[in-house]
Amino acid sequence: MKFGGIVTAMVTPIADDQTINYEEAGRLAKWLVDRGNDGLVVGGTTGEGPTLNVDERMGLFRAVKAAVGDRAAVIGNCGTNDTHTAVALAREVSEEGAVDAILSVVPYYNKPTQDGMVAHFSEVAKACVKPVFIYNIPGRTGVNMSASTLLELAHRHRNIIGVKESSGDLTQFGDILRDRPKDFIFFCGDDHLFLPSLAMGADGVIGVATHLCSMEFRRMAKAVHEGRIADAAKIHFDLIPLFKALFATSNPIPIKWAMRELGFNVGAARLPLGPMPEANKPHLRTLLHRYRETVAV
């Protein structure tokens, strides 16, 4: 399976009664692929993975894969802060074949040591028959996986094939990209750092704004690969207001609100996340006007 360069961390549609709207998940997945996404991360941070139980995650993986088939890669988030549960879920999901790869996050809250991370992900890798992407997001987990730890895991386990790197640290990006094994996939996990990560050789992005502007991201990547840096910078500059608006409060509150504005029945974020602040709505609503003409819902 090729994972491409433009991947969206998809929101999870949640009905008013707090159940998962699997039908809408399939409809949204198809729409995202139609708009140029090479892949979808399901049940990640933007998909409210920490609030989804095992049955809900499995149902989402099945619904999205059934909707997109082989048109796009489906990467299912199987990570949690408990190694036993993370291993069991990774084994179940990979053996069923409902996803093309799994995403497994650095354990949150526990603040594991670097050697603890090596042991944790080694157990996940040994249990999984599907490719594994490690997800490093210290702003959520409370601890950073160092470049040396990631590279040790990448060299030790052949099925650890890539990373979603959301540290926001371009020096760390560079350390990984300089020393990564051949064919190890580097996805930038910070929308606003996609352009500088491309300049260092990143393979793609797993984004939030890509719900709305996947085609702009693709044009940005194409411009960089063709040496048209000024053109890539212009696209990046044009997207900065959207990046700011989508991260003005905790993700995925703004992007779920935006997708509802565009006609998708994704519902609000589950507690403990609150509603979209009223003060943030007018600016994001203005930015959304440019996307309305390309939305068919």
Amino acid 96: pLDDT: 86
Name the average pLDDT for the chain. 95
| Strand extents, DSSP E, the chain | 6-9, 39-42, 73-77, 101-105, 132-136, 160-165, 185-188, 204-207
For 165-182, how does the pLDDT look when each residue is reduced to its tens digit (9 = 90+)?
A: 999 999 999 999 999 999
Q: Which residues are catalytic?
A: 135, 164
Q: What is the pTM of this model?
A: 0.95
**According to the model, what pLDDT value does residue 292 have?**
60
Amino acid of residue 237: F
DSSP sequence for 190-222: -GGGHHHHHHTT--EEEESTHHHHHHHHHHHHH
Residue ranges and CATH numbers for the domains of the chain are 6-229 (3.20.20.70)
% of the chain exceeding 70 in pLDDT? 97
Tallying the residues shown for the chain, one arrives at 297
**With bands split at pLDDT 50, 70 and 90, how would you rate the model's confidence at 1?**
low
| pLDDT, tens digit (0-9, with 9 covering 90-100), for 188-235 | 999 999 999 999 999 999 999 999 999 999 999 999 999 999 999 999
Residue 195, token pair as written in the block: 């352009």
Distance CA 247, CA 253 (A): 9
Q: For 112-120, what is the mean pLDDT?
A: 97
Average pLDDT, stretch 121-137? 96
Q: Scanning the structure block, which residue is given the tokens 């991370």?
A: 117
Q: How far apart, in whole angstroms, are the C-alpha atoms of residue 137 and residue 131? A: 19
